[in-house]
Amino acid sequence: MNEKKGVLVTGAGGFIGHHLVRRLKEEGYWVRGADLKYPEYESSAADEFEILDLREMDKCLLATRGGIHQVYNLAADMGGIGYITAYHAAISRNNILINANMLEASRQNGVQRFLFSSSACVYAQSKQKDADVAPLKEEDAYPADPEPGYGWEKLFAEELCRYYRKDYGFETRIVRFHNVYGPLGTYDGGKEKAPAAMCRKVALAANHGEVEIWGDGEQTRSFMYVDDCVEGLMRIMASDYHEALNLGTDELVTINQLVNMVAEIAGKKLKVTHDLSGPQGVRGRNSENSRTRRVLGWEPSIPLRQGLAVTYKWIASALSKSHARQPEVMEPAAGD
């Protein structure tokens, strides 16, 4: 191991973690990946990849052993809006254990810098009741009114990072993700986010056919392509800023606009139908990026249509190769 560049990525078997490992290796870092599972669609680029249950303290100590200098703690029990609204107890318990144990193990093993992946689900629900939502500033997380379960445990873990910095002088960084999408992400099974679910739906639909989404489709979100996400993560880790930072675009679209954009990319004319009984999450959510620009001198900038074109091509190809025909599960808006 190059001791000056030893990095641990937890959640390295997941979507963002897999892309981050690949980028870190391109930049010359020695990388250890840890997760409950290997990456789903291609082999990890990590120098070491260990299957570890990070809810257990001894596994966290094992993951952070041997001169790891930086930890990107992306491991989490999470999914799209249908998933995170159905399993509050399990998600909260699993993630609290992961985050608390990873912080303490990193501190004990002399890690120099720890990045915690939080979520836009920490923002006050009262500030997200309109589709034409004002972009959310970092301070809009308080007074606290996050989404049940997933949002509450993320907000508490942010506070725990602050406590560790204050009490132990442990260098922590906090990033709030806003709806990340791209190739190599889950696109079926119930844990997929809205862009991937839309791409799957459109790819499986016949031209002039139908796709169904939850809600009336006028709920709004912004979406960030995974390459921008990885770039932002590395910039935040390298920065001297230790408070929470938004990481997302401010390109706000309705879910109806999202599905129409995917249909145009696919070259299909489709009818959109709506299931008003499905979970929808908050009515509107967008990222306010002025602090991100000030701290990093940068912000995510890949246009949604550009990222969706790459994502749709990959998902359509994967479906074609596997001849997959999954149950009709749809989520109209990503969970975080």
By annotation, the residues acting in catalysis are: 150
Give the CA angle between residues 102, 107, 112 to the nearest 5°: 105
Quote the tokens at residue 320: 């074609």
> What length does the chain have?
336
Record the tokens describing residue 264, joined without a space.
Answer: 């145009």
Q: Which residues partner with 210 through β-bridges?
A: 271
Nearest to 60 by CA among 118, 109, 117: 109
Whole-number Å distance between alpha carbons of 233 and 70:
12
Contact 289, 248 (CB under 8 A): yes
Pairwise CA distance, residues 52 & 28, whole Å: 25
Sheet with strand 172-177: strands edge to edge: 48-51, 30-35, 6-10, 70-73, 113-119, 172-177, 244-247
- What is the spatial distance between Cα 217 and Cα 225, in angstroms, rounded to a whole number? 21
Q: Cis peptide leading into 148, omega within 30 of 0? A: no
